[in-house]
Amino acid sequence: MRIKLSDHFSYGKLLRFTFPPMVMMVFTSLYGVVDGFFVANFAGKTALAALNFVYPLLNILAIFGYMVGAGGSALVAKTLGEGEKERANKLFSLFVYLSTFLGAVLAAVGFFLIEPLLSLLGAEGEMLSNAMLYGRILLVSLPFWNLQYLFQIFFITAEKPKLGLYVTLLAGVTNMVLDAVLIAVFNWGLAGAAIATALSQIVGGGIPLVYFFRKNTSLLHLGRTRFDKKATIRAVSNGSSEFVSGISGSLVGILYNSQLMNYAGEDGVAAYGIMMYVSMVFIGIFFGYVNGSSPIIGYNYGAQNLPELKSLLKKSVILLLSGAGIMFSLSMLLAVPLSTIFAGYDPQLYEMTLSGFRIYSVSFLFTGIAVLGSAFFTALNNGLISATLSFLRTIVFQVVFVILFPIFWGIDGVWFSIVAAEALSALCSAIFLLGMRKKYGYA
């Protein structure tokens, strides 16, 4: 039976509705994981370090699609809740076309700027050439990468989360199969990894584009629209927290790589990349849940169904705290086998990865609530609070701690900085959620 945004959500129904976007985010995260696995085992740690070095720069460009998707989806869901379906579809079309245009422009600019940027950040020699090769291939598919991020959210607003899951699964399988063929069989190395990821992004962004242009059974379809300056500003400002989170997360990743190059060289960058692969999967579950629940929150806020809004927040807190405990336990149990899979070929890299991963795993206890706070206020169309929480989490706390902690604890300080940043972010989210409960009626 189809679940609607207007339904009352029990724990079971909420999990059924958010399960597809959780799996979608996990599979999207697996792109980098699969690339990293094949590159590490078939191309070596210099190629792995190059991949990890350039990826944050590429993600900065792709995050524009996530920003337009998150902010635009909240506005479209609210408009649907107010009963204005025709306007909601015009807004949806506007945001899709805007994301496509931004992706094309950024791809063209990035193609020429990637070499000087990588050089400025410290890449040189073989690492620089590898990073440029991987980056320029992925820039070709950047418009589809933007669309993939956007459609992952809008499939949920369109009440078609399962269809979004199927598309993401197809894109993920495309990436995995092509990685195996191009890297392990044809021995194309880093170029093979980039081609596999680029083609999977074309699948993930292209199929939804065709679906929404055709007549379909969802709440949304693509058609004629006009530029709406006010709606665009609202969507962009409302999605600014996702933009801040994505941009700052990538910038912080660049800073982490720089610190690790100073304290541990290429091994440090490679170890950090391995931990990011695993954490992206775990954190993807949190982001998948908030992406899945945000349209429900936005719809009920637009409809002024305040008892349901209160119920959704309470259930979300309980589910995310429970998930955090499970993820922490799993990460501690899997630390040895995962470190072996990605770094077992190099004893020094293996020991560094295992030690860091055990410290890093503690951060999962706090990430769920830290992510929920920002996403909840995005769904309420309060971009300012949402962006503030994202800014504190990814810029203020992580930057300050990753600069200070290594002074006292060396490379372990890098891992401890992530734990401390997530803990403080969770505390800030809790403070804002409690402080704004009367204003939004979920007291």
Residue 260 pLDDT exceeds 70 = yes
Residue 84 pLDDT exceeds 70 = yes
In the prediction, which pLDDT does 266 show? 67
In the prediction, which pLDDT does 229 show? 92
DSSP for 376-407, written as a single string = HHHHTT-HHHHHHHHHIIIIIIHHHHHHHHHH
Please check whether residue 289 is in contact with residue 22, taking contact to mean a CB–CB distance below 8 angstroms: yes
Q: Tens digit of pLDDT for each residue in 301-328?
A: 988 999 999 999 999 999 999 999 999 9
Q: What is the pTM of this model?
A: 0.73
Pairwise CA distance, residues 392 & 175, whole Å: 34
Q: Tens digit of pLDDT for each residue in 18-41?
A: 988 888 788 777 766 777 788 878
Which of these, 205, 194, 17, 197, lies nearest to 96 by C-alpha position?
205
Please check whether residue 253 is in contact with residue 398, taking contact to mean a CB–CB distance below 8 angstroms: no
Q: Tens digit of pLDDT for each residue in 233-246?
A: 988 887 776 676 66
Residue 127 pLDDT exceeds 70 = yes
Position 249 confidence tier, pLDDT thresholds 50, 70, 90: low
Please check whether residue 342 is in contact with residue 37, taking contact to mean a CB–CB distance below 8 angstroms: yes
Pairwise CA distance, residues 42 & 68, whole Å: 37
Pairwise CA distance, residues 119 & 109, whole Å: 17
**Cβ burial 173-192 (10 Å sphere, 16+ → b, else e):** ebbbebbbebbeeeebbbbb
Which of these, 416, 344, 332, 246, lies nearest to 41 by C-alpha position?
344
3-state secondary structure of 225: coil
DSSP tag of 116: H
Which of these, 334, 310, 438, 379, lies nearest to 74 by C-alpha position?
379
Pairwise CA distance, residues 269 & 51, whole Å: 10
Q: Which of 16-25, 140-149, 182-191, 369-378 has the lowest mean pLDDT?
A: 16-25
